[in-house]
Amino acid sequence: MVKGHILISFLPGFEASSLPQVRATPGILGINLVFGHWDAVAVAEARNVYELSKLVTDQIRGIQGVQETETLVHIEA
Say what the pLDDT of residue 76 is.
77
β-pairing, 66-73 vs 40-46, is unpaired
Q: What are phi and psi of 49, to 5 degrees?
A: -65, -35
> pTM of the full predicted structure?
0.93
Average pLDDT over residues 47-74: 97
Please report which confidence band the pLDDT of residue 5 belongs to, taking 50, 70 and 90 as the band edges. very high
Average model confidence (pLDDT) across the chain: 96
**Residues 27-52 pLDDT 10s:** 999 999 999 999 999 999 999 999 99
pLDDT > 90 in the chain, percent? 96
> What domains does the chain contain, in order, with CATH numbers?
2-73 (3.30.70.920)
Comparing CA positions, the residue from 27, 42, 48, 50 lying closest to residue 72 is: 42
